[in-house]
Amino acid sequence: MAQGDSNGSSKHHARRVPTIGKATILAIGKAFPSQIIPQECLVEGYIRDTKCEDAYVKEKLERLCKNTTVKTRYTVMSKEILEKYPELATEGTPTIRQKLEIANPAVVEMATKASLGCIKEWGRPAKDITHIVYVSSSEIRLPGGDLYLANELGLKNDVGRIMLYFLGCYGGVTGLRVAKDIAENNPGSRVLLTTSETTILGFRPPNKARPYDLVGAALFGDGAAAAIIGANPLNQESPFMELNYAVQQFLPETHNVIDGRLTEEGINFKLGRDLPQIIEANIEEFCKKIIAKTNIKDFNEFFWAVHPGGPAILNKLENTLNLSTDKLECSRKALMDYGNVSSNTIFYVMEYMRDYFKENGGEEWGLGLAFGPGITFEGILLRSL
């Protein structure tokens, strides 16, 4: 990210004034489970925990771990869980009930921690929250985690609740789009957007017939994020990003490229090898649709908050749009520090971007992007405040 640009930004720039009526991000928070895994320790631990004796699987996982660029990740899975549920490491065992016993409370616990941190930064009472948008692809139950979260936070019982389930990696940006619509159409509203994910539902022993399981083991992590969204900020609030314009688009006849199915063993994923190429072929047109709302044509005059689905996707995006190498720095750092944490990861990227802008200033306008099953593109025109 450049320290100065054609919009006149400079180090320690003056705060920009939010557009009247437009939704803004007023605070942000994150939370993680207590287990942290350095990438160099993952292979030995995974092979040991799943009792895998296949040298080919071990060698492939070692190669994948090096290629992901991930350095550390957090995980709900632990030695204690595997001791309590040894069947999780047994091939072909129906374990969906056990996995949900673990995942459902873990997801809400992380969401609660992230939300409490976010509300503390926001500086207003939790009872001032008027709506919840709750995003997860990691729990299944009725009532959903949105209700449990509202109870844990002590929110009013007439808080408006929306659940967005099983959207995958684009869920965080969908949540921003939905929260934006709520905030802009309900004067005075304050929306708590929470995302929370764990890889527990997909945990299983490695199998050559399921190569994507190894990609998941090498790339994905657990965690939660939260944001407070509202329009027309009050004096005691500190907006740092405006959600100016939002677009969702699916690519026809690509619904099988990312395929997730719930089975008796948990959730099974299949990922097409052509995913980076499909994104590469369609991303420029999608981005042009978003930036048409500004009078800026050069992609390098925007900042970029991109969900880091993996290094191949970031590399394709950078090359296709001819971005300078620093443009995706925050996305690459989030991937390195946390792995792909599905819907949460975009908020880790935005937090790194906020910290950078506080110190260095930066571009006024930017793009928030995420990709996932469908194939679905989610995009938001952002404005740094």
Name which of 71, 112, 357, 355 is nearest 225 in CA terms: 112
H or E, element range at 297: none
**What is the token pair recorded at 195?**
């995302």
Closest alpha carbon to 306 in 289, 285, 321: 321
Of 258, 244, 223, 216, whose CA–CA distance to 135 is shortest? 223
Q: Give the CA-trace dihedral at 112, 114, 118, 120, to 10 degrees.
A: 60
Single out the catalytic residue among 118, 169, 287, 330.
169
- Residue 132 forms beta bridges with which residues? 161, 192
Please choose, from the candidates 84, 187, 169, 69, the residue with its C-alpha nearest in 3D space to the C-alpha of residue 131: 187
Instruction: Report how far residue 194's alpha carbon sits from residue 191's, in angstroms, rounded to the nearest whole number.
Output: 10
Instruction: Indicate if 118 belongs to the active site.
Output: no
- How far apart CA 190 and CA 233 sit, in angstroms, is 10
How many whole angstroms separate alpha carbon 52 and alpha carbon 61?
12
Closest to 175 measured CA to CA, from 108, 229, 130, 240: 229
Pairing mode of beta strands 160-165, 131-136: parallel
Q: List the catalytic residues.
A: 169
